[in-house]
Amino acid sequence: IEVKLEVPPDIPLQVVMKGSGGLVAEDRRAATELATGRGDVRLTRCAGAGKVQTGHGMVIVYDHRGDLDVEVGVGGVQVFVREPGQRLRVIDNLGDVQCYVPIDAGFRVDARVETGKIANGFGFEVQRPAAYSATMAGSRGDGRTEIVLRAGTGHLSLSHKTFD
């Protein structure tokens, strides 16, 4: 079954799928929450608070403006945030996390991986507190946005992107 639901972009939207299925939201200007037990989730060209959750699947957030909260059980995450809000939180228990923000963004970052590696395009020092874990913390510019990145097993990266 495929369902297409058109909701005015200024009305907050919450879609929760108890079982399996992919979810897509595009061109929203209000708070948007997408959750599925199993399936890929995509949030594209949205502004306002975004919340995405999947138990098993890939999450792609592209051209986002505002706060963002992403949580994945098993899968991978790619997040491209054009204009970060106050908080950007990405958690992936088993999978890789790639996070891109504008090069001139001001933020505070706290990144941790239990088993894996961390890379970044901002020059922050990466610590190795144990044989397989890694952490990274620091701030840049005005430190306005709090960025929290976590992975149980996987690789984390925080870098910059130039948006058109």
Question: In the prediction, which pLDDT does 156 show?
Answer: 97
Q: 43-50: list long-range contacts, CB under 8 Å, 24+ apart.
A: 47/83, 48/12, 49/85
Which of helix, strand or coil describes residue 133?
A: coil
Question: In the prediction, which pLDDT does 112 show?
Answer: 98
Question: In the prediction, which pLDDT does 102 show?
Answer: 98
Calculate the average pLDDT of the chain.
96
Q: Give 10-residue mean pLDDT values along the chain (164 residues).
A: 88 95 96 97 98 98 98 98 98 98 98 97 96 97 98 97 91
Which of helix, strand or coil describes residue 45?
A: coil
